[in-house]
Structure 1
Amino acid sequence: MTAPGPCPCGSGRDHAACCGPIHAGRPAPTAEALMRSRFSAFALGDAAYLLRSWHPSTRPAVLDLDDVVVWRRLQIVDTDAGGPDDAEGVVEFRASYRGPEGAGLLHERSRFVRHDGRWVYLDVVTGWAPGT
Structure 2
Amino acid sequence: MIETADDFVRLRNSSDPQQCCRAAAEEASVQVWTEVIDRYPEERVGVVQNKTVPLAVLELLIDDPDTRVRFMVTMKRKLSPDLLERLAHDADESIRMRVAQHRNTSRETLESLRHDPWSEVRAAVEDRLGGTGRDLP
Tell me whether the two structures share a fold, i.e. TM-score over 0.5.
no
Of structures 1 and 2, the one with the larger relative CO (CA 8 A, separation 6+) is 1
Larger radius of gyration: 2
Q: Which structure carries more helix by proportion?
A: 2
TM-score (norm 1): 0.26
TM-score (norm 2): 0.26
